[in-house]
Amino acid sequence: MSSLLNIGLTGLNASQAYLNTTSHNIANAATPGFHRQGLTQEARTPTLSAGLLFGQGTSITSVTRSYSQLLENQVMSADNRRAEFAVYNQFISQVDNLLADPDVGLTPGMNNFFAAMQSVSANPTNIAARQALISSAESLVARFQSIDARITEVGQGVEDEITANLGTINSYAAAIAELNQRIIVSQAAGGGAAANDLLDQRQQAIFELNTLVKVTALPQRDGSMSVFIGSGQALVMGNRAKEMVKTQQVDEDGRQMIGMRGAGGVVTPLAEQLITGGSLGGLLAFRRDGLEAVQGSLGLIATTLATAFNSQHKLGMDLNGVLGKDFFSLAPVVVQPPTAASVSIDAERLGELTGASYSLQYDAVTNEYILTDLATGNSTRPALETLPDGSQGLRQDGLIISGLSLVAGERAFLYPTRFAAGSIGVSADIDPRRVAAANPVAASIVSPTGSSFAITLNPLGSSTGMSLAVPPAITPTGEVNFGAAAITLTENAGVFTLNTASSGYSLAPATYTPSTDSGRTEFTLTGPNGLSVTFKLSGVPAVDPVAGSDSIQLSPNAGGVADNRNAVLLGALQTEKLLYAAGPTGGSTQPTATLNNAYAQLVSKVGNKTREAQSGERTQNSLFEQARAARDSVSGVNLDEEAANLVRYQQTYQAAGRVMSVAQRLFDELLSIAR
Amino acid sequence: MRVSTSMIYDQGVSALQRQSAALLYTGQQIATGRKILTPADDPIASARALDVTQSRSVNQQFITNQGYAEDALTLVEGQLVGAGEIIQYARERVLAAGNPALSQSDRQSIATDLRAQFDAMLAIANTRDANGDYLFAGYKSNTSPFAKLTADPTNPAAFDSVRYDGDQGTRTMQVSSSRLMPVSFGGTQVFGSENGGVFAALGEFINALERGSNPGTAVGDALDSLDASLDRVLTVRAQIGSQLVEVEQLGFIGSDLDLQYATTLSNLQDLDFNEAISRLTQQQTFLQAAQQSFLRITGLSLFNYLS
């Protein structure tokens, strides 16, 4: 009788346990990281009575959770990649959107600027056209600056996000350490039974941490979980967590390093390539090959425009009769530390400029300098050579590096273009009269008889020696004043000898044969102070001592206000290939892209990267969903199933209760017999 | 496969989100009329569109320059027609002055007439354009190119002439990618050499008539000189004429090109509305179906039947 009551009681208890578990499952159906719980049940050990083994009811032996480490790992791996792509996409999309609108990008600004240049070329004396050129230049540089400012802002957002991510990582690490402690204690107290809900909480914390940065979790014998990042850098060990912080240290690529602060407060820097995956990995990757590359390329376009335009502008002459000055202003190349070297843009090899940032080191063994592209890691060892200014230095990748003061082991960082788009401006020297539309040299043929003899001046290669301020007190600085060179002609059997009557001038070649030289041969007039002018001759000169012989006159183009020769050359820069020189290594290289081509390449590069990030995010998202479905299929709560269980265990409860009431009645029967 | 309740919700929601995103994207395309919303949609076409935009802008600039060139050439042409007529008329008067039967007063009146022609010619040579620039001064467009030199009356050998203060510069205009067209002509090219050209010849003849001498051989010299001047004027006019034809043809090519660039740009960037609206309708249907099935599926629960 008592055994019947006991058996009924075990059934009642078991049913209640099932109902509890079912309710727990229902209550936690939407709890993140919750794994469906179940019970293990077995029949109790039978007792021997009258030589027979009688069952003793049932018992619940443990509370289990439906958990598969393999499925959890798959979810974590997909989620980690998904988070990395998502954050990369989130930031590069901002840059992509910035370049998206054809009316806001650089192209309209560039087109307006060169259209204004063409207007000056068509109306060189028109002050309004010159003013329009300056205004459109100002709006072009404003466009460079605003795009750069927006990219810098995105960069600032990345830095803030990195800091925020590190904070969140630290709070999860601390939570995991604490849960480790609680799990150790509670499992010890529970005689080794699994603390399912705490395990779920810890698993969820690791899962969230893994969304931020790729982690490896290794279970320990005492029930705690050790968490590592990168190649085995421990973040959580038992109940101790380290902190991830931004350090003041700079890595070999010049970027601020992230480190780990241990128990003693000692910060150990981590190499950036160790921090992969998750949103932190995505942020670092975007900073490295998204943000910096875009800023470098945009700066490259700004630097090339300013340098090429300035070089040509300085070969011209303005309305005041003064040689052109810099039209655009550009901040000097940023060198870190600034004392290591001084770097300038090599205007003669402008096409070789790359838009990259570099590190520079000195190799004392070979007495060479090592220039390393920070983005690709490719390094070169350019030979020391004599620079145009006479000092010793390096000429590499469109840069002139002088004033080198690096010692062995020291490292300097060069940022030739990264900050250029933010610093380009219209030079303060420029006003409408100072747009140098004219060529400083006037060439003419003095022909008393009106012969067919003609001269064509080549575009100037240099304005050296053009502005001889003689005497300096009278002539304003830069006024074109190189004297005048008259070239007279003498004939001998169809060969004309060119004689420079003016002292200090010489000519090469010195003879002109119309049949072979006309319109073909290039003559160079060299004058005092490095003056050099090249020209071609055509037609047959008249040499007639009676009526008067032809002569060539090369003189400063004083009063030549309607001359647009330099304006034409300035306007042609729009369609001239100026960037991305390609050619045999060490040989002569040819630029392959116009300014607009380079911008289009930048847009296409950002577009491709964004597309890549979008499709990566989509792929990882669908992998994540698949993995999550597989996991939830095992671990998730199904409310219908739980409803069925409710009904089922309600019935077993009722049945067990009935067993007890039967036992009660039997007992009453027995008592009534005894009465 | 076992299904958990969260799977029903998670998968339903992500399906709804995917469909909403697609619908939103199509909606944005239709609202902007653009096929490519950001470079990521089609990086190659985006880059190409920028290149074509520049080519189109450059071409439009050439078309503007063709207008400038045509205006400048037409202005010069008009002046040269006047100059040619003056030379023709002066030629007739010089020829008339050679008639030995003329009296001194007849010759004097021809001299007065020719002096008026000299001044008219000088006025043409010193014409300015709308910007106030001297047409025939070369690059020195702020300088009056021809200065009159009046002869010293006490010197019987002296005669009226001019001094050229301009230069030989020729202004050019970029009218196509490969053509720099000259649009101005130096004074010496039109009116003769540095020594005064047609002005010197005319001045010498006038002075001779005014001094009362019988022109005699001077008539022949003056005629030669005037003929040479007329030749120069006609040569320049012929050049202008052919350049005007060239500008006109370049204009046709330019507007053709503009149309081609516009078509290319439209193909690269513009939305096919028929396709987009049909896609929008389709996506809308899918989204509605997804919404309805989501509600149906999540509405099913065994708990509904437990009382």
| Mean per-residue pLDDT of chain A | 89
Percentage of chain B beyond pLDDT 70 is 97
CB distance A413 to A358 below 8 Å: yes
In angstroms, the separation between the Cα of residue B75 and the nearest Cα of chain A is 15
Could B39 and A563 be called an inter-chain contact, meaning their C-beta atoms sit closer than 8 Å? no
Chain B residues lying within 8 Å of A639, measured CB to CB: 5, 301-303
Give per-residue pLDDT as tens, A197-236: 999 999 999 999 999 999 999 999 888 999 999 778 899 9
Q: Quick one: DSSP state of residue A287?
A: I
Query: Is any Cβ of chain B less than 8 angstroms from the Cβ of A446?
Result: yes
A556 φ/ψ angles, rounded to the nearest 5 degrees: -60, 140
Q: Which of A438, A601, A632 sits opposite B7 (nearest CB)?
A: A632
Mean pLDDT of B192-212: 78
**At A435, which amino acid appears?**
V
CB distance A267 to A259 below 8 Å: yes
In the numeric block, which tokens belong to residue A591? 């630029």
Could B6 and A632 be called an inter-chain contact, meaning their C-beta atoms sit closer than 8 Å? yes
Chain A residues lying within 8 Å of B301, measured CB to CB: 639-640, 643
pLDDT bucket at A473, cuts 50 / 70 / 90? very low
**Burial (Cβ within 10 Å: 0-12, 13-18, ≥19) of residue A371:** buried
Mean pLDDT of A135-158: 94
In angstroms, the separation between the Cα of residue B42 and the nearest Cα of chain A is 7
Chain A residues lying within 8 Å of B40, measured CB to CB: 93, 96, 606-608, 610-611, 614
**pLDDT score recorded for residue B196:** 63
Instruction: Mutate one of B61, B143, B172 to test the A interface: name it (highest A CB count within 10 A).
Output: B61
| Gap between the Cα atoms of B22 and A626, Å rounded | 21
B280 pLDDT exceeds 50? yes
Query: Is any Cβ of chain A less than 8 angstroms from the Cβ of B40?
Result: yes
Could B53 and A571 be called an inter-chain contact, meaning their C-beta atoms sit closer than 8 Å? no
Q: Please give the sequence-ordered ranges of beta strands (E in DSSP) within chain B, or none if there are none.
A: 146-149, 161-164, 172-176, 179-182
Could A571 and B174 be called an inter-chain contact, meaning their C-beta atoms sit closer than 8 Å? yes
Could A603 and B50 be called an inter-chain contact, meaning their C-beta atoms sit closer than 8 Å? yes
A586 pLDDT exceeds 70? no
ipTM entry: 0.85
| Gap between the Cα atoms of A166 and A178, Å rounded | 18
A78 pLDDT exceeds 90? yes
Taking the model in full, what pTM does it have? 0.87
Other C-beta atoms closer than 10 Å to the C-beta of A29 total: 18
Question: Judged by CB atoms within 8 Å, which residues 143-182 of B form the interface with A?
Answer: 143, 167-169, 171-174, 177, 180
**Burial (Cβ within 10 Å: 0-12, 13-18, ≥19) of residue B13:** exposed
The number of C-beta contacts closer than 8 angstroms across A and B is 208
CB distance A620 to A82 below 8 Å: yes
Mean pLDDT of B41-48: 91
Could A562 and B171 be called an inter-chain contact, meaning their C-beta atoms sit closer than 8 Å? yes
| Gap between the Cα atoms of A431 and A570, Å rounded | 17
| Gap between the Cα atoms of A508 and A534, Å rounded | 9
Strands B172-176 and B179-182: antiparallel
A43 φ/ψ angles, rounded to the nearest 5 degrees: -70, 140
Give per-residue pLDDT as tens, A270-314: 988 889 999 999 999 999 888 888 999 999 999 999 999 999 999
Q: Which of A445, A600, A638 sits opposite B50 (nearest CB)?
A: A600
Chain B residues lying within 8 Å of A637, measured CB to CB: 4-6
Mean pLDDT of B31-42: 92
CB distance A494 to A514 below 8 Å: yes
Could B167 and A442 be called an inter-chain contact, meaning their C-beta atoms sit closer than 8 Å? yes
* DSSP notation for B264-301: HHHHHHB--HHHHHHHHHHHHHHHHHHHHHHHHHHH--
Give per-residue pLDDT as tens, A494-544: 888 888 867 778 888 888 988 888 888 899 888 877 888 899 999 888 888
In the numeric block, which tokens belong to residue A438? 């004219």
Chain B residues lying within 8 Å of A601, measured CB to CB: 47
Q: In what order do the strands lie in the sheet with A495-500?
A: A441-446, A551-556, A485-492, A495-500, A511-512
B118 pLDDT exceeds 60? yes
Q: Please give the sequence-ordered ranges of beta strands (E in DSSP) within A107-199, or none if there are none.
A: none
In angstroms, the separation between the Cα of residue B148 and the nearest Cα of chain A is 19
Q: Which of B11, B141, B300 sits opposite A629 (nearest CB)?
A: B11
Q: Please give the sequence-ordered ranges of beta strands (E in DSSP) within B177-237, or none if there are none.
A: 179-182
List the single range of A387-396, A469-478, A579-588 with lowest mean pLDDT: A469-478
**pLDDT score recorded for residue A472:** 40
| Gap between the Cα atoms of A650 and A425, Å rounded | 82
Could A446 and B53 be called an inter-chain contact, meaning their C-beta atoms sit closer than 8 Å? no
Query: Is any Cβ of chain B less than 8 angstroms from the Cβ of A128?
Result: no
Query: Is any Cβ of chain B less than 8 angstroms from the Cβ of A442?
Result: yes
Query: Quick one: residue B158, left, alpha or beta (phi over 0 = left, psi -120 to 50 = alpha)?
Result: beta
Query: Is any Cβ of chain A less than 8 angstroms from the Cβ of B279?
Result: no
| Gap between the Cα atoms of A551 and A489, Å rounded | 6
pLDDT bucket at B207, cuts 50 / 70 / 90? confident
Give per-residue pLDDT as tens, A86-133: 999 999 999 998 887 777 789 899 999 999 999 999 889 999 999 999
Element (H, E) at A82: helix A69-100
Could A600 and B6 be called an inter-chain contact, meaning their C-beta atoms sit closer than 8 Å? no
In the numeric block, which tokens belong to residue A606? 């950002």
